[in-house]
């Protein structure tokens, strides 16, 4: 059962002006799994991703990607920010956004060329967006925006994917397409960490789950830790949420 | 002086040529940097930075007693950077939001600047008259050496933007993603903002601290209306900036002591106004026309569907129905106009006494629409 650890987070604490938003998080993520990060609003899900990626100053703790600090492993990691975090009225095309996935490998000053363009087109094809390549990004639906972001991540050809709410505001077709994509990634040995909101679909879409509410409540395979007790500990007394969470029927 | 003579003076009159070249170069550079400022929602930052330059001008004069533009510009640049630093400190270490801290920085620095200017004004030394022109700009005073300054520093700023184009685009569109790739976004942010300060300082002499922010915002905002591509937007903003600069300089050269700054800014505003109204896709006129089009198309589809659903209650789907029945559903005027549109598309045909029926083509179209509606309902 010994698997290599894709991500190892230990004692991670993040604070905004004295207030801890993440407290003493330990998290071991084995390679080749799809892990959902769930928890109520303000639980620190996005903060966890950003802190692991070094986008936020951390008060204490360490993050290791395949045993080394993130700074040395950037090429292995891809980040898919929340769809709403960018201005979709920015004057650029779908293809151009996807090409940004190449920027890390290109490094300073070098511009993307024909090879990068082909990689971007292939990624767009993979998410079913080929015909939208030249489309201005403001004309995209929510699902198409999300597919564009995923295509950009695919271009990075990473080992680990950090995704912030990849299913937020997408239509049913896109949701199915994204799930397929995630499973393909897992099949090729990639690791995916995704902030997720819909408790109902956790067992169906993911095989591992982390329950988070400032502290790590539980983390592990879905059929072990996605229990009513853990959910209650994570979400407090909000029973309406809990009663809809499936757990009784073992798959 | 007619328009032709005015344009001829661009070539023949040394003063007019110098001023026009200076303001054109200035407009072009501020247009490019302004395009980024507009996209990064930093219009207000441009305003704060230009106001923050005023105390620098006064201080530089007090310290050196020199009226050399380069010295005064260095002073302006210094307080400009000071203002950026203060702005970053306030937003990072207090709970004051960005717009409020910009307001604080702007008013504090501008207040100090005005205070120093009025103090200098009491000074019998008449040279302070030159300082006052920094408030509203005096492009007519531009000399050849100022052109050289604008060309060198403006050129350098544009060169940096060109070299770091990809990085600045990433910064403007998706900063967090850029950081995750390993680009030092705070450093790039500071660099781009510093270039903005350089441009503002270059423009102070010609346009003045009060209106310089318009030269930053207007060309970029106008250019955004016409294109959906960042590179084209930057080029267009440069063109609009230059156009505003030249036309403003020419108009104010007509005499009667018009400050160049306000005239240039009015020219830029005219470009913005035209762009807001007329640009394809984003312009107001275009929007109004598109709304009208889609409304009449939707009305037409509604009438077609009404006709189809009435027919569905009979065995003959193509059976004619009285127009009064349709009008009862959609209203009289809308129905008549929609029927004429549908007739033109060959989807309906008139019978006697203003009865209307679907054509075969109209029936197929209505069935297609009905199926699409049903699919939408399933999707939800």
Q: CATH says B290-379 is which class?
A: mainly alpha
Establish if B182 touches chain A: CB-CB under 8 angstroms. yes
| CB of B28 closer than 8 Å to CB of B238 | yes
Which residues, including other chains, have CB under 8 Å from residue A30's CB and lie 6 or more apart? A3, A4, A5, A6, A191, A208
Q: Using the beta-carbon criterion (under 8 Å), do A87 and B177 form an inter-chain contact?
A: no
pLDDT greater than 80 at residue A37: yes
Strand order in the sheet with A191-195: A77-80, A160-164, A191-195, A34-38, A208-213, A215-221
Distance of CA A227 to the CA centre of its chain: 22
Q: Output phi, psi for A64, to 5 deg.
A: -120, 135
pLDDT at B1: 60
Express each pLDDT in B68-109 by its tens digit. 888 888 999 999 999 988 998 898 888 888 889 999 999 999
Q: Considering only CB atoms, which chain B residues are within 8 Å of A74?
A: 180-182
How many degrees, rounded to 5, is the angle at CA A107 between CA A105 and CA A110? 105
pLDDT at A1: 38
Q: Using the beta-carbon criterion (under 8 Å), do B230 and A91 form an inter-chain contact?
A: yes
Closest partner CB to A55 (pick from B164, B176, B233) = B176
Q: Where are the domains of chain B?
A: 3-282, 290-379
Establish if B275 touches chain A: CB-CB under 8 angstroms. no
Q: Using the beta-carbon criterion (under 8 Å), do B182 and A74 form an inter-chain contact?
A: yes
pLDDT at A27: 92
Express each pLDDT in A44-65 by its tens digit. 899 999 999 989 888 889 899 9
Homologous superfamily of B3-282 in CATH? ABC transporter involved in vitamin B12 uptake, BtuC (1.10.3470.10)
- Fold match flag (B3-282 vs B290-379): no
CB pairs under 8 A between A and B: 74
Angle of the B323-330 helix axis to the B284-312 helix axis, nearest 10: 130
Which residues, including other chains, have CB under 8 Å from residue B152's CB and lie 6 or more apart? none
Establish if B91 touches chain A: CB-CB under 8 angstroms. no
Residue with more model confidence, B267 or B335:
B267
Closest partner CB to B173 (pick from A54, A92, A108) = A92
Rounded CA-CA distance B252/A160 in Å is: 61
Q: Considering only CB atoms, which chain B residues are within 8 Å of A111?
A: 165-166
Q: Considering only CB atoms, which chain B residues are within 8 Å of A162?
A: 180
| d(CA A136, nearest CA chain B) in Å | 7
Closest partner CB to A100 (pick from B177, B232, B233) = B177
Rounded CA-CA distance B279/B185 in Å is: 33
pLDDT at B333: 67
| d(CA B183, nearest CA chain A) in Å | 8
% of chain B surpassing 90 pLDDT: 39
Q: Using the beta-carbon criterion (under 8 Å), do A92 and B230 form an inter-chain contact?
A: yes
Q: Any bridge partners for residue A212, and if so which?
A: A216
Is the pTM of the predicted complex or chain greater than 0.90?
A: no
Specify the residue for token string 């077609």: B304
Q: Considering only CB atoms, which chain A residues are within 8 Å of B174?
A: 81, 85-86, 100
Q: Which residue of A has its CA nearest to B172?
A: A90
Q: Any bridge partners for residue A8, and if so which?
A: A28, A64
| CB of A90 closer than 8 Å to CB of B227 | no
According to DSSP, the β-strands at A60-65 and A5-16 are antiparallel
Q: Using the beta-carbon criterion (under 8 Å), do B379 and A93 form an inter-chain contact?
A: no
Q: Which residue of B has its CA nearest to A86?
A: B174
Q: Using the beta-carbon criterion (under 8 Å), do A50 and B176 form an inter-chain contact?
A: yes
Establish if B166 touches chain A: CB-CB under 8 angstroms. yes
CA nearest B62: which of B120, B118, B114? Answer: B120
Q: Using the beta-carbon criterion (under 8 Å), do A53 and B180 form an inter-chain contact?
A: yes
Report H helices in A53-205. Answer: 70-73, 94-99, 103-106, 114-126, 142-156, 172-187, 202-205
Of A140-154, A202-216, B164-178, B316-330, least confident by mean pLDDT is: B316-330
From the number of C-beta atoms within 10 Å of its C-beta (0-12, 13-18, 19+), residue B233 rates as buried
Strand order in the sheet with A5-16: A19-30, A5-16, A60-65, A68-69
How many degrees, rounded to 5, is the angle at CA A167 between CA B375 and CA A118? 90
pLDDT greater than 60 at residue A240: no
Q: Using the beta-carbon criterion (under 8 Å), do A103 and B181 form an inter-chain contact?
A: yes
Q: Using the beta-carbon criterion (under 8 Å), do B39 and A97 form an inter-chain contact?
A: no
Q: What ipTM was predicted for this assembly?
A: 0.91
**Best interface-test mutation with B: which of A91, A106, A153 has the largest number of B CBs within 10 A?**
A91
| CB of A197 closer than 8 Å to CB of A167 | yes
The two tokens of residue A75 are 């090429």
pLDDT at B166: 95
Establish if A106 touches chain B: CB-CB under 8 angstroms. yes
Question: Which whole-number Å values give the CA distances from A251 to A38, A180, A187, A204, A222, in the listed order?
Answer: 20, 19, 20, 9, 11
Mean pLDDT of A117-126: 93
Distance of CA A218 to the CA centre of its chain: 18
**Residues 26-65 (A) with a CB less than 8 A from some CB of B:** 50, 53-55
pLDDT confidence of A239, banded at 50, 70, 90?
A: very low
The two tokens of residue A188 are 């090729």
Mean pLDDT of A184-208: 92
At B292 the three-state DSSP class reads helix
Specify the residue for token string 């692991």: A52
Q: Sign of dihedral through CA atoms B146, B149, B152, B156? A: negative
Q: Using the beta-carbon criterion (under 8 Å), do B173 and A87 form an inter-chain contact?
A: yes
Candidate ranges B63-77, B107-121, B148-162; pick with highest mean pLDDT: B148-162
- E-strand ranges in chain A read 5-16, 19-30, 34-38, 60-65, 68-69, 77-80, 160-164, 191-195, 208-213, 215-221
Rounded CA-CA distance B171/B87 in Å is: 19
């Amino acid at each position: 059962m010994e698997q290599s650890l894709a991500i190892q987070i230990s004692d991670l604490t993040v604070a905004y002006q004295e207030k801890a938003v993440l407290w003493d998080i330990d998290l071991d993520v084995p390679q080749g799994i799809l892990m959902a990060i769930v928890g109520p609003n303000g639980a620190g899900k996005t903060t966890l991703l950003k802190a692991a990626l070094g986008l936020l100053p951390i008060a204490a703790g360490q993050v290791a990607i395949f045993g080394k600090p993130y700074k040395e492993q950037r090429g292995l990691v891809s980040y898919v920010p929340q769809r709403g975090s960018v201005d979709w009225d920015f004057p650029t095309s779908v293809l151009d956004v996807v090409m940004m996935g190449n920027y890390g490998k290109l490094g300073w000053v070098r511009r993307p060329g024909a090879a990068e363009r082909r990689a971007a087109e292939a990624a767009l094809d993979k998410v079913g967006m080929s015909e939208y390549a030249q489309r201005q990004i403001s004309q995209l639906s929510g699902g198409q925006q999300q597919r564009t972001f995923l295509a950009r991540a695919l271009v990075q050809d990473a080992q680990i994917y950090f995704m912030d709410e990849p299913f937020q505001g997408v239509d049913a077709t896109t949701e199915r397409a994204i799930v397929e994509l995630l499973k393909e990634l897992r099949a090729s040995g990639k690791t995916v960490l995704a902030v997720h909101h819909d408790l109902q679909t956790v067992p169906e879409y993911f095989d591992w789950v982390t329950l988070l509410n400032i502290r790590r409540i539980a983390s592990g395979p879905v059929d072990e830790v996605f229990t009513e007790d853990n959910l209650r500990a994570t979400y407090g007394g909000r029973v309406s949420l809990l009663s809809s969470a499936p757990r009784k029927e073992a798959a | 002086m007619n328009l032709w003579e005015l344009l001829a003076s661009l070539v023949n009159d040394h003063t007019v040529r110098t001023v026009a070249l200076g303001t054109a170069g200035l407009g072009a550079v501020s247009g490019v940097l302004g395009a980024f400022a507009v996209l990064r929602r930093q219009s207000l930052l441009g305003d704060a930075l230009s106001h923050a330059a005023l105390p620098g001008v006064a201080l530089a004069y007090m310290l050196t007693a020199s009226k050399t533009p380069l010295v005064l510009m260095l002073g302006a640049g210094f307080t400009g950077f000071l203002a950026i630093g203060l702005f970053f400190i306030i937003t990072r270490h207090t709970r004051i939001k960005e717009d409020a801290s910009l307001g604080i920085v702007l008013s504090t620095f501008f207040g100090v600047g005005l205070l120093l200017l009025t103090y200098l004004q009491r000074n019998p030394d008449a040279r302070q008259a030159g300082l006052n022109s920094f408030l509203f700009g005096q492009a007519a005073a531009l000399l050849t050496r100022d052109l050289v300054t604008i060309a060198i520093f403006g050129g350098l700023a544009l060169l940096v933007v060109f070299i770091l184009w990809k990085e600045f685009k990433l910064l403007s569109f998706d900063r967090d993603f850029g950081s995750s790739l390993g680009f030092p976004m705070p450093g790039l942010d500071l660099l781009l903002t510093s270039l903005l300060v350089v441009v503002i300082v270059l423009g102070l002499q010609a346009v003045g601290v009060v209106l310089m922010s318009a030269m930053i915002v207007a060309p970029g905002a106008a250019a955004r209306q016409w294109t959906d591509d960042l590179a084209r937007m930057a080029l267009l903003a440069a063109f609009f900036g230059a156009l505003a600069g030249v036309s403003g300089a020419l108009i104010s050269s007509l005499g009667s002591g018009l400050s160049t700054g306000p005239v240039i800014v009015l020219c830029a505003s005219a470009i913005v106004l035209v762009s807001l109204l007329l640009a394809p896709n984003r312009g107001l006129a275009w929007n109004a026309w598109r709304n009208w089009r889609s409304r009449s198309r939707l009305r037409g589809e509604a009438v077609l569907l009404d006709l189809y659903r009435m027919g569905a209650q009979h065995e003959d789907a193509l059976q004619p129905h009285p127009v009064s029945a349709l009008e009862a559903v959609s209203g009289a005027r809308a129905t008549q106009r929609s029927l004429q549109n549908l007739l033109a598309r060959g989807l309906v045909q008139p019978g006697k006494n203003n009865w209307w029926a679907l054509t075969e083509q109209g029936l197929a179209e209505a069935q297609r629409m009905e199926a699409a509606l049903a699919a939408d309902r399933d999707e939800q």
